[in-house]
Amino acid sequence: MMAAMENVIIIGSGPAGLTAGIYTARAGLSPLVIEGMNALGQLVQTREVENFPGFANPVSGLDLMTSMRRQAENAGVRFAMDEISAVDFSGSVLKLSGMTGDYSSKTVIIATGAEAKWTGIEGESTYRNRGISACATCDGAFHKGKSVAVIGGGDTALSDALHLSRICERVAIIHRRDKFRGTRALVERVLATPNIDVKWNTTVVSFDGDGGRLNAITLSDASRLEISGAFIAVGHAPKTAFLKGALELDENGYIRVENTHTSRPGVFAAGDCADPNYKQAVSAAGTGAEAALEAQRYLESAK
Ligand code: NAP
């Protein structure tokens, strides 16, 4: 059956996608937001958000995103649960194929965000989900009163370490350089937390275990650290694999945009999937609003 022709389809329901939804709904375009396995985006993994304007006190990422979704629903956004696996942007009707349906639209806003990267270090794939995780908020509670390691030196590693320090006995941050990349406020808090140790200029050589579960890591200084969990926080990669060949991407897979316009007319991108630089919730929401306004202009000029 032919899919109904939509005005705007938004792929992704993080801050960029939901903001694009709120704006296009208020413009009377009746947008359809397609949300997949990672509905509400990466922010739901952040326990305390302190830098999203409008909240005098820290707000949990889940509360913030749940409220943003309700705001989108109230504005008239429609939602579909699906994972888009292929696109055809070659004609004037933009086509999307998902696991549960096919979609046609006059405009598309891509807001698929980014996902955590893995290190590829020996033992990582063996012990993934058996002690190794990329989400401290999701899995930290499994290590109550135990020792864990966080690998990385950016904001994710620092906020993961702070979160884990409240649950675990000891937290070791393994960082390959002698300086953190993360925000000063987080760096200062980490360095002042008594049960966080930082191992500078150190890398993980292998993740070790008994075959069933992780129980230690071997470090580049040949020491061995006994831990019950390791949290990987070595950055994020854009979720754009399904767009290969359909849109111009940069060498790291980010969608190339100019004022949210992609290389295809009628296709816009917002948030982390098109942002190699800032990757903040507030900038994702900002570009979501811009993409919505650009899509609206495009539809008006096409009339
Ligand atoms: P990131 O800033 O890219 O930091 C990644 C860290 O992992 C860096 O310290 C990097 O080391 C290290 N690293 C990369 N590859 C590695 C490898 N193979 N082995 C060992 N270490 C490796 O990524 P992120 O921390 O996920 O943050 C991404 C963006 O989200 C940033 O813009 C950040 O500000 C934002 N964010 C903000 C918050 C917040 O405001 N609360 C929370 C989370 C994320 P080098 O330093 O040597 O490159």
CA of 187 to the centre of ligand 1 (A): 13
Range(s) of the domain holding residue 38: 5-115+236-301
User: Which residue CA neighbors atom 37 of ligand 1 most closely?
Assistant: 155
Please state the φ and ψ torsions of residue 153, each to the nearest 5 degrees. Answer: -140, 20
Q: Average pLDDT, whole number, for the chain?
A: 96
Distance of CA 201 to the CA centre of its chain: 27
pLDDT level of residue 133 (50, 70, 90 thresholds): very high
CA of 104 to the centre of ligand 1 (A): 37
Task: Indicate whether 216 and 259 sit together in one domain.
Answer: no
User: Which residue CA neighbors atom 16 of ligand 1 most closely?
Assistant: 234
Q: Say what the alpha-carbon torsion angle 57, 60, 64, 65 is, to the nearest 10 degrees.
A: 170
What is the tens place of the pLDDT at every residue in 75-126? 999 999 999 999 999 999 999 999 999 999 999 999 999 999 999 999 999 9
Active site residue 139: yes
Q: What is the mean pLDDT of residues 24-33?
A: 98
Task: Indicate whether 32 and 110 sit together in one domain.
Answer: yes
In the chain, what percentage of residues exceed pLDDT 90?
95
Overall number of domains in the chain: 2
- Could you tell me the pTM of the whole model? 0.89
User: Which residue CA neighbors atom 23 of ligand 1 most closely?
Assistant: 235
pLDDT level of residue 3 (50, 70, 90 thresholds): confident
Task: Indicate whether 129 and 223 sit together in one domain.
Answer: yes
CA of 155 to the centre of ligand 1 (A): 6
Given this model, what pLDDT does residue 226 score?
98
Q: What share of the chain is helix, strand, coil (3-state, %, to 5)?
A: 30, 30, 40
Task: Indicate whether 132 and 105 sit together in one domain.
Answer: no
Task: Indicate whether 140 and 221 sit together in one domain.
Answer: yes
Task: Indicate whether 9 and 108 sit together in one domain.
Answer: yes
Active site residue 168: no
Ligand 1 pocket (Cβ < 6 Å) reads 46, 51, 119, 151-157, 159, 176-177, 181, 183, 203, 233-236, 279
Q: List, in sequence order, every beta strand (DSSP E) within 164-203.
A: 170-174, 196-199
Task: Indicate whether 161 and 195 sit together in one domain.
Answer: yes
Which of 173, 203, 232 is the last residue in one of the domains? 232
Given this model, what pLDDT does residue 2 score?
62
Task: Indicate whether 156 and 211 sit together in one domain.
Answer: yes
User: Which residue CA neighbors atom 26 of ligand 1 most closely?
Assistant: 235
CA of 30 to the centre of ligand 1 (A): 37
Which of 213, 232, 251 is the last residue in one of the domains? 232
Please state the φ and ψ torsions of residue 87, each to the nearest 5 degrees. Answer: -135, 155
CA of 14 to the centre of ligand 1 (A): 19
User: Please, which residues bridge with residue 194 across strands?
Assistant: none
Task: Indicate whether 206 and 132 sit together in one domain.
Answer: yes
Q: Which of 138, 210, 221, 250 is catalytic?
A: 138
Active site residue 273: no
pLDDT of 138 over the 90 cut: no
CA of 179 to the centre of ligand 1 (A): 12
pLDDT of 301 over the 90 cut: yes
What is the tens place of the pLDDT at every residue in 186-234? 999 999 999 999 999 999 999 999 999 999 999 999 999 999 999 999 9
Which of 60, 162, 174, 181 for mutating ligand 1's site (highest number of atoms within 8 Å of CB)?
181
Q: What is the mean pLDDT of residues 157-176?
A: 97
Which of 205, 232, 259 is the last residue in one of the domains? 232
User: Which residue CA neighbors atom 38 of ligand 1 most closely?
Assistant: 155
What region does 123 belong to: left with phi over 0, alpha with psi -120 to 50, or beta? left
User: Which residue CA neighbors atom 2 of ligand 1 most closely?
Assistant: 154
Task: Indicate whether 66 and 86 sit together in one domain.
Answer: yes
Give the number of the atom of ligand 1 that is nearest the alpha carbon of residue 179: 46
Task: Indicate whether 38 and 177 sit together in one domain.
Answer: no
Nearest to 213 by CA among 143, 138, 140, 128: 128
The domain that contains 196 carries what CATH number? 3.50.50.60
Task: Indicate whether 195 and 249 sit together in one domain.
Answer: no
Q: Which of 63, 88, 102, 135 is catalytic?
A: 135
pLDDT of 31 over the 90 cut: yes
Burial class (CB in 10 A: 0-12, 13-18, 19+), 37: exposed
